[in-house]
Amino acid sequence: MPSRTDQKWDFISVVVSDTTRIHTQLLADAIRSDANLQVVASAPHSKELLEAVERIPVDVAIISYVLDGVPNRGPEVLRDIRRLRPQVKGIMLLDSSHPQQVVECFRAGAKGIFSKQDKLENLCKCIRCVHEGQVWASSNELEHVFEALNNSPRVSATDNQGVDLLSAREREVVQYLAAGMTNREIAKALRLSPHTVKNYLFRIFDKLGVSTRTELLFLTMNGSRSMGSPGGIDSLANTIQAAESGNLSAQLQLAEHFSQPVPLDGKHQDPVSAYMWYLLAAKTAAPLLEQLEEGKKNLAQSMSVEQIAEGETRAAQWLKNSKKKPGFAETGKVPTKALVANP
């Protein structure tokens, strides 16, 4: 079958995938009202969607953030589509413009964010805008993206003379690591094999004199600090200072750091210190947990049994999906991106 670039077309080909078959069909019907847009496939499940993209030339893919009954499945599918067809432009359908969801969609390669509360006739405008190479998003959604860029960790690894110790590719690996991605996710993002990513990390460890991912981030997420001090002593000192000031994230990072096994004998490098920081972190978290329980209890009093059940179901789905990502749901640890090196 010829590709879209091999011949001229007088319409924009679109695939649609919403949470249910009915919603998908309603979206498809709304898009078909525009003579310049042609829905070439409508699939409420990711497998059907990917199969359609493989066999049919597609310009724009419209995908729900919640797909296959799983929150944030949509961005994952968009990444898969862009690996299959890099030229396809993605539009994500969101129930609400939650900052984390908006940023996640754009990181997945979306060119447009369309709210399900918006008028359906505006969806056709969104499709044409994205197809022309523009970005479709509200001012609030763009603000979320700019805020994320401003707060994203800067990766730096230089010697005392300011010379970069890492190659451009190695810095990319560390940057993705700082964003909380697993080796497999980094490999997909960089189009490498997981084995190659693992080798990159070994070389980075060797160059910087560290032995764990946590120590690596202590060093590189500091922005302007050079790597002149062996073992990242300055960065570790900053984390200790933050932990002693009551920073929960720093306390947990220290507990993890001192729990790391020593490469030679496999024993914990300082189990007493690790245990101490776990105890202090529990003490720090206690008031927050009490506040959470009180807030949950008060809110539940004004909710119906059905609403409470729906909330519990959503939470269970989120936790199930989060196991695919690094963080406390998978490892029992605080996500690496929560590291506080400079309080």
Q: What is the pLDDT of residues 96-111, one digit of tens each?
A: 878 888 888 888 889 9
Would you say residue 200 lies in a domain? yes
Residue 247's pLDDT is what?
A: 82
Query: Residue 24: how many CB atoms within 10 A of its CB?
Result: 24
User: How large is the angle between the packed helices 168-178 and 194-208, nearest 10 degrees?
Assistant: 100
**CA angle at 187 for the pair 211 and 51, rounded to the nearest 5°:** 155
320 shares its domain with 229 = yes
Highest mean pLDDT among 4-18, 81-95, 308-322: 81-95
Closest CA to 273 of 230, 247, 245, 244: 244
Question: Please, are residues 97 and 144 in contact by the beta-carbon 8 Å criterion?
Answer: yes
Last residue of some domain: 116, 150, 184? 150
Residue 215's pLDDT is what?
A: 62
For the chain, what is the domain count?
2
**CA angle at 153 for the pair 63 and 333, rounded to the nearest 5°:** 80
Would you say residue 7 lies in a domain? no
Residue 171's pLDDT is what?
A: 82
276 shares its domain with 133 = no
Would you say residue 162 lies in a domain? no
211 shares its domain with 105 = no
In the chain, the N- to C-terminal Cα span, in Å, equals: 57
30 shares its domain with 177 = no
Query: What is the rounded average pLDDT of the residues 176-191?
Result: 79
3-state secondary structure the chain: CCCCCCCCCCCEEEEEECCCHHHHHHHHHHHHCCCCEEEEEECCCHHHHHHHHHHCCCCEEEEECCECCECCHHHHHHHHHHHHCCCCEEEEEECCCCHHHHHHHHHCCEEEEEECCCCHHHHHHHHHHHHCCCCECCHHHHHHHHHHHHHCCCCCCECCCCCECCCHHHHHHHHHHHCCCCHHHHHHHHCCCHHHHHHHHHHHHHHHCCCCHHHHHHHHCCCCCCCCCHHHHHHHHHHHHHHHCCCHHHHHHHHHHHHCECCCCCCECCHHHHHHHHHHHHHHHHHHHHHHHHHHHHHHCCCCHHHHHHHHHHHHHHHHHHCCCCCHHHHCCCCHHHCCCCC
210 shares its domain with 64 = no
Would you say residue 3 lies in a domain? no
User: In which band, very low, low, confident or very high, does the pLDDT at 158 lie, cut at 50, 70 and 90?
Assistant: low
131 shares its domain with 274 = no
118 shares its domain with 212 = no
Would you say residue 6 lies in a domain? no
Answering whether pTM is above 0.75, one says no
Last residue of some domain: 120, 150, 180? 150
User: In which band, very low, low, confident or very high, does the pLDDT at 183 lie, cut at 50, 70 and 90?
Assistant: confident
Closest CA to 174 of 235, 221, 230, 108: 221
Which CATH number characterizes residue 64's domain? Answer: 3.40.50.2300
145-159, 224-238, 269-283: segment of lowest average pLDDT = 224-238
Cα separation of 147 and 248, whole Å?
23
Last residue of some domain: 123, 150, 177? 150
119 shares its domain with 250 = no
Please check the confidence at residue 208 and state whether its pLDDT lies above 90: no
186 shares its domain with 294 = yes
Residue numbers of the domain that contains 24: 12-150
User: In which band, very low, low, confident or very high, does the pLDDT at 154 lie, cut at 50, 70 and 90?
Assistant: low
Would you say residue 134 lies in a domain? yes
Would you say residue 279 lies in a domain? yes
The phi and psi torsions of 15 (rounded to 5 degrees) equal -115, 145
Tokens of 170: 């190695």
130 shares its domain with 185 = no
252 shares its domain with 318 = yes
Q: Which long-range contacts (CB under 8 A, 24 or more apart) does 131-140 make?
A: 131/12, 131/59, 131/60, 131/89, 135/111, 136/91, 136/111, 136/112, 137/102, 137/112, 137/113, 138/97, 138/113, 140/97
Would you say residue 163 lies in a domain? no
214 shares its domain with 134 = no
